[in-house]
Structure 1
Amino acid sequence: MNRQQEYVLRTIEERDIRFVRLWFTDLMGTLKSVAVAPAELEQAFAEGIGIDGSVIEGFTRVYEADMIVQPDADTFQVLPWRDRTARMFCDINMPDGTPASTDSRNILRRALDRAGQEGFTFYTHPEIEFYLFREPYESARGPVPVDQAGYFDHVARGDGHDFRRAAIEMLEQMGISVEFSHHEGGPGQQEIDLRYADALSMADNIMTFRTVVREVALHEKAFASFMPKPLAQQPGSGMHTHVSLFEGDSNAFYEPGASYELSQTGRRFMAGVLAHSREICAVTNQWVNSYKRLWGGGEAPAHVCWGHNNRSALARVPMYSMGKGHSRRIEVRSIDSACNPYLTYALVLASGLRGIKEAYDLPPEAEDDVWALTDAERRAMGIDPLPQSLGEAVAVMEESELVADVLGEQVFDFYLRNKWQEWGDYRSQVTQFELDRYLLHL
């Protein structure tokens, strides 16, 4: 038993913790948990907890169902919203102790290990958007936002202010640092930005963040949704993520005197993200509804391009960190806040590393509002569109050697089958739009 595990056992005894929840994530990014009594935790550290992996989305096949949940003592935290309850994230192993190829956390760890072999550490900093709606949700009316405020609005006695304060306090009690928070553009829409961390810690933080936000919303008699586009006429919710590579203590993206102070490594990394953005879109934007956000106008990035001050671009070089070597970074704006963060960060990293390794050339910067250009103008500038539907995204991903390599054969095959099924289910629906437009006129 290592020192961190001993610390966990000692803390559980000192704080009279009665339940320890072991958290893990399925391939669609849904949080799962199994509770263990404190008396069983020492054995759980030594041997793990057995589960039936065949009932977890994408974990394994029925004839090889036995899997092991292995708690990671470094992620131990007491839950502020549950009396005498704590949690730890877990790795999923096979019975022989080898990491499960279908574990999202392990897939990201493999990608980070590859980056480490090149001398890089991958850091991320997400800006997470979501909507707050009033309870109860009445399907006939549709979801009702908690307010009618807009971007950066300060609302006297606003529900959003109280909610964000309570959520941030709870996050910080769990060791998750928050940089900024504010009201976003849509009614009831919020944004909370997490302080940068290594990508594995951040993916864990994002899963915790979603849980905290939902718990606080319920306490405030509301409900929170990370659905990419819950309101047709309002902005969608994304998770713009700032990314950077470090070599030891040095930011590999920073070069004084270079254009936008972005190094050749940074330019090639961004070129890789752009070049493979269509292939990874079925993961970064994994739901049918994701494409209503991407193609719904506003600042959602629907085209493969970059800029320094262009919020219609897929990737951006923020200018407010000029002159700060440690802060030089790239912002990837296409990602949904409802994605699986482990798979998403693994694929963004792999795309950027491919760009570095194969010396991709960064295309010319897009200085115009890309949404305002015509299709012909975009084609002339060499700006390709992102997939316009989940079906198109899955078809593009199906041909991707990079995605297959990062996810592994079993996950790649499962993911494709799962998303083809979702696309088929969606296409079979008769929507209210169709009834309103055609039922009485055809």
Structure 2
Amino acid sequence: MLYTQDEVLEYVKEEDVKFVRLAYFDLSGKQKNATIMASELPRAFEKGISFDASAIPDFEEANKSDLFLYPDPSTLSVLPWRPSAGKVIRMFCDIKYPDGSPYKKDCRYLLKTAAAKIKAECGVDLQFGTEFEFYLFKLDENGEPTKIPFDKAGYMDIAPEDKGENIRRNICFTLEQMGITPESSHHEEGPGQNEVDFHYSDSLTSADNASTFKWIVRTKAAESGLYADFSPKPIQEKPGSGMHINISCSDPSKNENILAGILKHIEEITYYLNPTENSYNRLGEAKAPHFICWGRENRSAIVRLPAGEKTRIEIRTPDPTCNPYIAFTLLIHAAIDGIKSNLRAAEAATENLFDKEVAKKVSYKTIPDTLEEAREIAEKSDFVKSILG
């Protein structure tokens, strides 16, 4: 349900809400929040709640550090694991300067601006869906994470081998209570590795849901005495974890333009889709392609058109450490370029590019091999600068 400001205030009064978490994100996509008493909510809506931006990496310096959080009423969620008496709710916030103008480094603002731009200039809407993979590890006697997987199950195994079944169930129930409906879940290939997939939503809702999901997974894993690891390659010899991004356009005739735009810019934006050194230990292995090409059903291509799908484009390189707001923003702008420039994709790749002998014979370009290389390419990119500054 999408609440208005008045409806939120009425809800707070009628449902015994005592605490309000005002959530926002730093540039890496890490969620931050300030908690206020419910009685302060009218002031938050009207004047915002100030915070020290100089304490957030890469936000502002100390001499201009005051920024303000304005809650977005449409994002209201109750935290179902908190007491029902004296409820706790959470809303995502818009970040603004003291004069009320949007803060240019607010990643939710960047995404909203991109979504409005593709609608205004290209006449289309893009819907996003995510597929998250993560590992569950045991804790040691001091409660610190280990690299001992929670189970030894494999792809789509069932209990008792799959010990994560009840945790995934608990995660999905919690998300549903918060108004987020997962599409499916199952055990993945790696020991202790799990996957949860999400239905399509508009770009901002999808990014909000992705961020909420990671928070809920970590919370529910901790409640079960486990550690949820979203790093791309937590165990060197085992499968890595990705965050596949699915895009669907309201006008399927633009799909080839969008696909071509993404392939044109994928090298420049890899730094934001794969933002850690660990990311590059995953890329190039099974299920994590690195050749810049597309294919029908071909999981070894960076962009895939799944079988039986007429509208879905799947980007297979991103991993869960990326900031979904920034990732979606850059992908939308790549789609805009593809549509406005009427870009056309090359022929579909049909080879199995995970086969090392086959890979030696192809001439496709590849995405960067290291974080440093990806950073250098991004820093030189006029495309990236025009979007992120």
TM-score by length of 1: 0.84
Q: Does 1:13 align with 2:17?
A: no
What displacement does 1:401 show?
1.1
Q: Does 1:184 align with 2:188?
A: yes
1:141-220 equivalences under 5 Å are: 142-156=146-160, 158-220=162-224
Q: In structure 2, what is the equivalent of residue 67 of structure 1?
A: 67
Q: In structure 1, what is the equivalent of residue 256 of structure 2?
A: 267
Task: Select the residue among 83, 88, 105 that pairs with 1:85.
Answer: 88
C-alpha change, 1:138 and 1:361, in structure 2 (3 Å) is: farther
Q: In structure 2, what is the equivalent of residue 427 of structure 1?
A: none
Q: In structure 1, what is the equivalent of residue 275 of structure 2?
A: 286
Q: Is the 8 A contact 1:133 1:223 kept in 2?
A: yes
What displacement does 1:194 show?
1.1
2:299 corresponds to which letter in structure 1?
R
What displacement does 1:62 show?
2.2
Q: Does 1:222 align with 2:226?
A: yes
1:18 corresponds to which letter in structure 2?
K
What displacement does 1:61 show?
2.2
What displacement does 1:139 show?
11
Q: Does 1:333 align with 2:316?
A: yes
- State the distance in 1 between where 2:249 and 2:141 align: 43
Deviations 1:218-271 (A, max 9, x none): 11111101111100011111111110221xxxxx12xxxxxxxxx3x1111101
- State the distance in 1 between where 2:353 and 2:161 align: 38
Unaligned regions of 5+ residues in structure 2, if any?
none
Q: Does 1:133 align with 2:137?
A: yes
What displacement does 1:137 show?
8.1
Q: In structure 2, what is the equivalent of residue 377 of structure 1?
A: 361
- State the distance in 2 between where 1:51 and 1:221 align: 33
Question: Secondary structure of the residue that 2:288 maps to in structure 1?
Answer: coil
User: 130-139 or 54-63: which moved more?
Assistant: 130-139
C-alpha change, 1:112 and 1:163, in structure 2 (3 Å) is: same
Question: Secondary structure of the residue that 2:372 maps to in structure 1?
Answer: helix
Q: In structure 2, what is the equivalent of residue 40 of structure 1?
A: 40
Dislocated runs of 4+, deviation >6 Å: 137-141
C-alpha change, 1:140 and 1:243, in structure 2 (3 Å) is: closer
Q: Is the 8 A contact 1:228 1:290 kept in 2?
A: yes
Question: Secondary structure of the residue that 1:337 maps to in structure 2?
Answer: coil
Question: Secondary structure of the residue that 2:342 maps to in structure 1?
Answer: coil
Q: In structure 2, what is the equivalent of residue 313 of structure 1?
A: 301
Q: In structure 2, what is the equivalent of residue 388 of structure 1?
A: 369
What displacement does 1:156 show?
2.1
What displacement does 1:27 show?
0.2
What displacement does 1:159 show?
2.4
Question: Secondary structure of the residue that 1:18 maps to in structure 2?
Answer: strand
C-alpha change, 1:309 and 1:219, in structure 2 (3 Å) is: same
Q: In structure 1, what is the equivalent of residue 22 of structure 2?
A: 22
1:400-419 equivalences under 5 Å are: 400-407=381-388, 409=389
- State the distance in 1 between where 2:201 and 2:142 align: 39
Q: In structure 2, what is the equivalent of residue 260 of structure 1?
A: none
Deviations 1:136-177 (A, max 9, x none): 388999511110011111122742100110000000000001
2:333 corresponds to which letter in structure 1?
A
Question: Secondary structure of the residue that 1:148 maps to in structure 2?
Answer: coil
How large is the Cα RMSD of the aligned pairs?
1.8
Question: Secondary structure of the residue that 2:191 maps to in structure 1?
Answer: coil
Q: Is the 8 A contact 1:28 1:57 kept in 2?
A: no
What displacement does 1:395 show?
0.8
- State the distance in 1 between where 2:3 and 2:241 align: 41
C-alpha change, 1:101 and 1:182, in structure 2 (3 Å) is: same
Task: Select the residue among 266, 277, 295 that pairs with 2:266.
Answer: 277
- State the distance in 1 between where 2:55 and 2:145 align: 35
What displacement does 1:374 show?
4.9
- State the distance in 1 between where 2:156 and 2:141 align: 26
Question: Secondary structure of the residue that 2:266 maps to in structure 1?
Answer: coil
C-alpha change, 1:4 and 1:137, in structure 2 (3 Å) is: farther
1:387 corresponds to which letter in structure 2?
P
C-alpha change, 1:354 and 1:175, in structure 2 (3 Å) is: same
Task: Select the residue among 97, 100, 110 that pairs with 1:107.
Answer: 110
Task: Select the residue among 287, 294, 303 that pairs with 1:299.
Answer: 287
Unaligned regions of 5+ residues in structure 1, if any?
247-251, 254-262, 323-327, 410-442
